[in-house]
Amino acid sequence: MKFRMPLAMVALTALSLSLPIQADDDLRSRADKHAPASLMGDHLHKPGEWMVEYKYMNMFMDGNRAGSQSLSDEDALGFGDGFFATPTNMTMEMHMLHVMYGYTEDVTLYTMLMLPSITMDHLRGPTFPAAALRGLPFTVHNSGLGDTGIGALVRLYSDEDDDLILNLGASLPTGDIYRTTSIPTNGHSDQTLPYPMRLGSGTFNARPGITWKRYYEFGSFGAQFQTDLPIGRNYRGYSVSDDYRLNAWYSQLITNNLSTSIRIQNLWRSNFDGVDLETPDAVISTNVEDFRGGYSLNLGLGAAALLGENLLNVEFVPTLYQDLNGVQLETDWSLAASWSKSL
């Protein structure tokens, strides 16, 4: 996928070469004090200090891919033994409320509520059971409460310029994983929603991670390794992907209250383990447990503005490369934007 760096990003980066940056005794009080908007778990708070954050994320997926090759809708319908229908595109929006509390100088507690909203467009294929519906598109939507994140950030090491933070995170299975729809059959029978349209994992997940950040007079650098690991299988008989994310970013100060960032993300996911017996493979590719894993390389372009105690953070993330197991919708881009305030 071709993309161009937004003109605003180019202008801000160029401006950073000409504007003065004021010396600041506390390097962690500038616009680059948080990681780019798509990331979390990178900073701590003072004892007794609260932080409230609202974060919005949007991910857009368009077209199917097998391995590293894009597929037409016809090729996706006929992949392997063939499917009754195929997804053609998907939009996933996420609203998140993130609360952090400085428990001690070296431990910060956090929780995160998530409200996903998922819309997927489909195309019925030539083998669809109802002949009158063959070749016709349909759209399915699902939204509600997702899984709830909890955890503690623990300072392993800190000096004037560096932070090394351990993330002891987890998620609770508060998201619904069993909803049905009759839209594909034009109201004649209910079908269980496929895996990507479910609101949670159905399992308790461990989310350990580690972050290193180094601050300079003119900006900061960070690296983070984060995981999402389901514990056992859920009540429907499967567990979602093991998820591993390796991020590295650089933030450039324009002034102490304005910064830009660039980030590289490596993302690995395994296939699902087990099987939900109410998601037959022949119906659609998104029902296939072996078609859930793969590798993605993503680029993040961001900016942050500090307005008093309010931090505004935004990041646009185009996908550079994907190699997916089986046939799956490919991700074109994602967007994250947040507001946070320390209290």
Task: Give the DSSP per-residue string, 11-68.
Answer: HHHHHTTTS-----S-GGGSTTSS--TT--S-----TT-EEEEEEEEEEEEEEEEEET
Low-confidence ranges of the chain (pLDDT < 50): 1-24
Residue type at 38 in one-letter notation: S
Query: Domain for residue 83, yes or no?
Result: yes
pLDDT tens figures, 229-263: 999 999 999 999 999 999 999 999 999 999 999 99
* pLDDT value of position 15: 41
CATH number, residue 74:
2.40.160.40
Residue type at 243 in one-letter notation: D
Q: Structural domain of residue 103, as residue ranges?
A: 7-342
CB 340 within 8 A of CB 74: no
Query: Domain for residue 291, yes or no?
Result: yes
Query: Domain for residue 203, yes or no?
Result: yes
Residue 243 DSSP SS3: strand
Q: Look at residues 7, 4, 8, 6 and name the one whose alpha carbon lies nearest to residue 305.
A: 8
* pLDDT value of position 20: 46
pTM assigned to the model: 0.90
Q: How many CA atoms lie within 13 A of 206 on its CB side?
A: 6
Q: Kind and range of the H or E element at 7?
A: helix 7-15
* pLDDT value of position 262: 98
Query: Domain for residue 2, yes or no?
Result: no
Query: Domain for residue 1, yes or no?
Result: no
Rounded-to-integer distance, Cα 203 and Cα 208, Å: 16
Q: Look at residues 342, 287, 294, 284 and name the one whose alpha carbon lies nearest to residue 319.
A: 294
Q: Look at residues 172, 177, 183, 138 and name the one whose alpha carbon lies nearest to residue 272.
A: 177
Rounded-to-integer distance, Cα 117 and Cα 183, Å: 17
Q: What total of structural domains would you count in the chain?
A: 1
* pLDDT value of position 26: 81
The β-bridge relationship of strands 69-71 and 50-67 is: antiparallel
pLDDT tens figures, 33-89: 999 999 999 999 999 999 999 999 999 999 999 999 999 999 999 999 999 999 999
63: CB partners within 8 A, 6+ apart: 70, 71, 88, 89, 329, 330
* pLDDT value of position 24: 46
Q: Look at residues 118, 115, 80, 108 and name the one whose alpha carbon lies nearest to residue 327.
A: 80
* pLDDT value of position 285: 97
